[in-house]
Amino acid sequence: MGVDARGLTFEVRTGGPADGEPVLLLHGFPQNSGEWDDVLPVLHAAGLRTYALDQRGYSPGARPAAVEAYRVPELVADAAGVLDALGVPDAHVVGHDWGAVVAWGLAAVHPERVRTLTAVSVPHPAAMAHALATDPRQKARSAYIALFRKPGKAEKALLAWNATALRRMLGGVGDAARVARYADPMREPGALTAALNWYRAMSGADLKAVGAVGVPTTFVWSDRDAAIGRTVAEACAAHVTGDYRFVELAGVTHWIPDEAPAPLAEAILARIAR
């Protein structure tokens, strides 16, 4: 359904019992709310009400042109605005990849809106900013960001030959149909540029500005993640002042919600149960 917030219209997929505890789910790049499809049935069976959001740039009605419109504070404000529009005062928040960055920011800036936090794959933004500035291994893992920040060149590289490079990047999510679920929407006019604008608007200052998180938090990381190394994953703990759990999934790549939905759902439910 379409939800109007902050002058934009966001697509939000709702499910589960209407009276269940609310869970806001935030996807990453270059995916969409479909990445939660194998996680949601477990949450619904546990009696939870879910709201899976197609974020700024991914919802066709929420696709501003300016790069600066995709700065982290704007993305965090979107999540709060959507909760307002849904009439949800606070929710359990789950975010993967860039969605984790938004979830961390929401928990830091609006802790009263976040009952619990489950961040998936990407650690606290301040830990990430420090690693990008000081850790040669993490810099190497994140080298792809330099291409993503180049307007036009990134789009051409990722979309050429029926989006071959984009599809190859998504290869870990599963079969061709699952890859198409994410790649095909990115081929719509302006969609990939909007998604890449998250990287183009990213700054070390914005990442470092995200404060410590005091809400009950679980960070789920996988040891075959090509983008996020163990050093920064383990550094995440220093940025959480509330109850904190680190869940490591062995033999799993970056695409945790697609590749390991059952253990991820288990971690989410364990965190919600406190």
Active site residues: 97, 199, 254
**Cα of 243 vs its chain's centroid, Å:** 21
Q: Can you tell me which residue has the tokens 């810099």?
A: 139
**Residues 2, 142: Cα–Cα separation, whole Å:** 34
H/E stretch holding 76 reads helix 72-86
**Among 81, 69, 85, 79, residue whose Cα is nearest residue 25:** 79
Q: Three-class SS of residue 26? A: strand
* Burial degree of 6 (CB within 10 A; 0-12, 13-18, 19+): middle
* Burial degree of 176 (CB within 10 A; 0-12, 13-18, 19+): exposed
**Residues 145, 135: Cα–Cα separation, whole Å:** 15
